[in-house]
Structure 1
């Protein structure tokens, strides 16, 4: 129990810091985090509030398909990222960050955070839940499933974000999902 608690705290801290770097770079990523980032560029609501609200519909899917334990862990992770996303600007101040560094570093941190959360039977909602379900039911690697969905979200950003930033963001989303695809798969820690 303590191990899972520390894992969820570590994963949410890494993921939220990665999302802070992405927001500071005015970049996007995939999934509900990418959708929340896009909305935060156009709305006056804080990213954390938007992220929490965007993930609410997926909570029911988590309960239905993954059970209450996973759903509660995921709900806690979403809530923690939402709160931490508000703390990073306060603790670090506004960042004037080089976009390539922000996008690649942000996606790297978010990917490692997600990997930690997945290993502790949790996620950040949205596409994470769908990707994990497809891995369990069909054997499709969660990282590859999420990569396809994430690139679709990033490409939809063309309406709001400069094309060069969308291209850079797509590369970042691929990096994030490669971290998951290469490190989170059935049998990974059983010597297979």
Structure 2
């Protein structure tokens, strides 16, 4: 009982919104983590889920520039982002995808991997992507794609967003068998597990007081 009375005596923490400068820092930093993950994925010929996975498929199949494709495939999803999450979220997401596309084209000129173990690449890239996405979430942004479509369908049709996201990711990874080996698809699933583990453990709004 003494512990409960001590807890009740503590002052309540008040949520404070991020300033515009903090949001800019968050988008630039979060996208840099994700861009580094994408570089590792590309060097290991692995796949991501969501719109990034679709961009990888088109990149592998057609040889188009990954950053350009990543930006283009997200364009249709901004409609769903606006309807489901509002103008501020959509604007931040548009900026985040643009920054990520730019980083994706820039990083190969700044860093190169002579050798990288594929299992380590899958786990490390998944963790980096998860950290980057978590930063974006905490600053009211995302990387668009299937995630916002899933949220939109949940709000308008009552479909579970997690189920829609998982189904989309499974389709993209299954299509990956057309361009990469079954082992690389399996490693991509491992990377997806690492990514989602980071978000599941660390994205706890009741423990985080920024907005």
The TM-score range, normalised by the shorter chain, is 0.7 to 0.9
Q: How does 1:80-119 map to 2 (within 5 A)?
A: 80-93=99-112, 95-119=114-138
Residues 35/120 of structure 1: CA separation in 2 closer, same or farther (3 Å cut): same
CA contact (8 A) 2:40 2:125 kept: yes
In structure 1, how many angstroms separate the alpha carbons of the residues matched to 2:30 and 2:150?
18
Deviations 1:72-120 (A, max 9, x none): 1000000000000001101113654221122211111111100100110
Contact kept, 8 Å, 2:81 with 2:90, in 1: the verdict is: yes
Say whether residues 1:162 and 2:181 are aligned partners: yes
How many equivalent residue pairs? 190
| Pair 1:48-2:67 in alignment | yes
Q: TM-score, normalised by structure 1?
A: 0.87
CA distance in 2, matches of 1:36, 1:70: 22
Q: Shift of residue 188 of structure 1?
A: 3.7
Aligned ranges for residues 31-42 of structure 1 at < 5 Å? 31-42=50-61
Larger radius of gyration: 2
CA–CA separation in structure 1 for the residues paired with 2:125 and 2:164: 20
- Equivalent positions of 1:12-161 (< 5 A) are 12-93=31-112, 95-131=114-150, 146-147=165-166, 149-161=168-180
For 1:28 and 1:94, locate their aligned partners in 2 and report how far apart those are by CA, in whole Å.
Answer: 18
Q: Cα–Cα, structure 1 residues 55 and 64, in superposed 2: closer, same or farther, change >3 Å?
A: same
Deviation at 1:44, TM superposition (A): 2.5
8 A Cα contact 1:108 1:175, kept in partner: yes
Distance 1:119 1:135, change over 3 A: farther
Q: Which residue of 1 aligns with 2:26?
A: 7
TM-score of the two chains, using structure 2 as the length reference: 0.80
Task: Quote the RMSD (CA, aligned, Å).
Answer: 2.6
Greater mean deviation of Cα atoms: 129-138 or 156-165: 129-138
Gaps of 5+ in 1: none
Higher mean displacement: 55-64 or 142-151: 142-151
Q: Runs ≥4 in structure 1, deviation > 3 angstroms?
A: 93-96, 130-138, 140-149
| Deviation, structure 1 residue 135 | 8.2
